[in-house]
Amino acid sequence: MRLLIVGTLEGYITAAGKIAMKRGAKVSHTDSIEGALTALRSAAGADLVMIDVKLDIATFIDSLKSERITIPVVACGIGTDAAAAVRAIRAGAKEYLPLPPNAELIAAVLEAVAEESHSIVCSDPAMLATLRLAEQVAPSDASVMITGESGTGKELMARFIHRKSRRSAEPFVAVNCAAIPENLLESELFGHEKGAFTGAVARRLGKFEEANNGTLLLDELSEMHPRLQAKLLRAIQEKEIDRIGSSQPVRVNVRLIATSNRNLEAEVRSGNFREDLYFRLNVFSVAIPSLRERPADIPMIAEHFLKKYAEANGLGDKRLTEDAMLMLKTHHWRGNVRELENTMHRAVLLSRGEEVGPEAIMLTSKMLAPEGSAQASIPADSPVANPFAGPGGTVPAAAALSQPAQPAHPGGLATGYGPPKGGKPGPYGMAANSSAAAAANAGTSGAGLAALIGRTVADVERDLILETLTHCLGNRTHAANILGISIRTLRNKLKQYGDEGRSVPTPGNDERATA
């Protein structure tokens, strides 16, 4: 953990730094925003910035965005100044930390950023064998290619290899090749000189230099443009890189790990990926099994996320019932561990009491698959299907879900997945409703799916989002959790729908200030 502290913090800088160092962080300090930007552009970098709330946090965060520097920012200030905290959060800070520094509070912030989720939870023999293989190759400097379906935890495996390597005390730097446009990815990897192109306001060191002596993860490498693949190949062969706008090569010592959810051999045959680069990177290959291929891990991972999100939401201990666990074990898990994590997050929010039963488990279905095989992702007895069904309830919120006149959503709210490409269909979930409800669904799902023919995915998605928001009484946070998307994505979608002239439910009372 590399911590950068910005500002004087009125003398508390020494105390805060000492607390962080005791927790294992490497601490650096600068007095100004310009000094912080200079430090972040350099190879030293940081994993977290703690900045004095008296500084211009909005300008600092805008500068980070314009230079594509992604890093969490925590504002710090003397006492509990609510107005200053609100200004910092609105400017883009992730959290506000009152001073004088509290050891436990700083530790909590560091742990939240370091995210113990970097650990791999498993017990299945297939996954344990993969980990043993990764641990065996970790001490070498050989390049590693990690393959597996989306959501299996390829970055976690890369971090595991780094922790077990001789470079574990050096930086681990990850760059997502699919998330950065081609014209920016070259600068992101190799850096640039001031004035090299429009927007290059200062020299910026790239990920190769930032990861020098450590490990560089090239995530989703198969998405990289062939032109840039040639420059990457030279960097690997010569162990030197050229910053954009510079005539002087820079020597680097980096261990490379690459990931892909595609079949790279097929990509090579089709001409989308350079064969020589493939063999350079694929010195050692680690294939992560899908969650369907490691069924013994499902209960352990489910319990892990159940505990994590119960604690994160301030709820007491929760446990899965046998019926709920059976649903998880028989689901297809097209999205692998990521899908299971989202499912458990929703289950925590939907469950009542200490037990998490089938009514709180919302599984993805094959809504757009043929032969009317879609299942409801929200069971009829789920709290979200009828949130006011208990004592004092007044609003029949489930009415719209049960009306057959709404053919756009067969069986209620659902998202569709088919079997994995090139794989065999697995057991695509089990009915969570009562037998009567299941029979009703079986009789109407074919007609509902037939009504979808001719509609675009965007139309179905829009109706799904707006209907979910309506049933959450306009609460954006709850709707985003149910849909399994981020609050920012939801708000962007709602803005788009509003611009198109669609009627968008107003925010809930507790969200009107920020929505």
pLDDT, residue 287, reads 93
pLDDT of residue 114: 56
> CB neighbours of 224 closer than 8 A, spacing ≥ 6?
177, 182, 185, 218, 232
20 or 335: whose pLDDT is higher? Answer: 335
Are 110 and 19 contacting, i.e. CB atoms less than 8 angstroms apart? no
- Would you state the CATH architecture of domain 2-114? 3-Layer(aba) Sandwich (3.40)
| Contact status, residue 209 vs residue 241, Cβ threshold 8 Å | yes
The answer, yes or no, to whether residue 435 has pLDDT greater than 50, is: no
| Bigger pLDDT: 416 vs 261 | 261
- CA 405 from chain centre, in angstroms, equals 36
Share of the chain above pLDDT 70, in %: 76
**Cβ atoms 257, 137 nearer than 8 A:** no
| Dihedral sign for Cα atoms in the order 118, 119, 123, 128 | positive
pLDDT average, residue stretch 465-486: 82
Q: Give the tens place of pLDDT for each residue, 357-399.
A: 999 998 875 442 223 333 434 454 544 444 434 333 333 333 3
Is residue 500 a contact partner of residue 433, using CB atoms and an 8 Å limit?
A: no
CA 190 to chain centre: 25
Please report which confidence band the pLDDT of residue 298 belongs to, taking 50, 70 and 90 as the band edges.
very high
User: How far apart are alpha carbons 54 and 40 in whole angstroms?
Assistant: 20
Indicate if the pLDDT at residue 23 is higher than 80: no
> Taken in order 131, 136, 137, 140, is the CA torsion positive or negative?
positive
Top-tier CATH class for 125-289:
alpha beta
Does the domain made of 292-365 have the CATH classification 1.10.8.60?
yes
According to DSSP, residue 509 is labeled G
What value does the mean pLDDT take over residues 228-251? 91
Q: What is the mean pLDDT of residues 303-316?
A: 86
Judged against a pLDDT cut of 60, whether residue 514 lies above it is answered with no
- In this chain, the answer to whether the domains covering 2-114 and 455-500 adopt an identical fold is no
Contacts of 507 by beta carbon, 8 Å cutoff, 6+ apart: 474, 475, 476, 515
φ, ψ for residue 69, nearest 5 deg: -100, 110
Residue 291's pLDDT band, with cuts at 50, 70 and 90, is very high
Rounded to an integer, the average pLDDT of 278-291 is 92
Cα–Cα distances (Å) from 323 to 300, 310, 345, 361, 432, in that order, read 16, 20, 18, 10, 9
Question: 251: burial class by Cβ within 10 Å (0-12, 13-18, 19+)?
Answer: exposed
pLDDT computed for residue 25 by the predictor = 76
Query: Would you kindly state where each structural domain of the chain is located, as residue ranges?
Result: 2-114, 125-289, 292-365, 455-500
User: Could you read off the pLDDT of 88-120 as tens digits, one per residue?
Assistant: 888 888 888 887 767 777 777 766 655 545 678
Nearest of 36, 28, 19, 173 to residue 110 by alpha carbon = 19
Q: Rounded to the nearest 10 degrees, how much is the dihedral formed by the CA atoms of 433, 435, 440, 443?
A: 120
pLDDT at 16 over 70: yes
**Contact of 243 with 250, CB cutoff 8 Å:** yes
At 321, the pLDDT band (50, 70, 90 cuts) reads very high
Question: Which tokens is 55 given?
Answer: 């500084």
Rounded average pLDDT over 479-504: 84
Place 37 in a pLDDT band, splitting at 50, 70 and 90.
confident
Helix (H) or strand (E) holding 463, with range, is helix 457-471
Full DSSP string of 62-115: HHHHHTT----EEEEEES--HHHHHHHHHHT-SEEEEESPPHHHHHHHHHHHH-
Whole-angstrom Cα distance, residue 447 to residue 481? Answer: 29
**Residues 157-200 pLDDT 10s:** 999 999 999 998 888 999 998 888 877 898 889 998 888 887 77
Residue among 459, 460, 465 at smallest CA distance from 489: 465
- Give pLDDT, residue 297: 93
Calpha distance 263→423 (Å, rounded): 13
What is the rounded radius of gyration, in angstroms, for the C-alpha atoms of the chain? 25
What is the band of 513 on the pLDDT scale with cuts at 50, 70, 90? very low
**What pLDDT is recorded for position 117?**
52
Average pLDDT over residues 403-432: 34
Given this model, what pLDDT does residue 400 score? 33
pTM over 0.85: no
Options 1.10.620.20, 2.40.320.10, 3.40.50.450, 1.10.10.60; CATH for 455-500 is 1.10.10.60
Determine the Cα–Cα distance for residues 320 and 338; give it in Å rounded to an integer.
Answer: 19
Residue 490: predicted pLDDT: 87
With vertex at residue 187, the alpha carbon angle to CA 182 and CA 188, rounded to the nearest 5 degrees, is 85
| CA–CA gap between residue 475 and residue 82 (Å, rounded) | 24
Whether 413 has a pLDDT exceeding 60, the answer reads: no
From start to end of 290-386, where are the E strands? 319-320, 355-356
**167 SS3 class:** coil
Q: What is the mean pLDDT of residues 222-242?
A: 90
| Average pLDDT value for residue range 463-484 | 82
**pLDDT value of residue 48:** 85
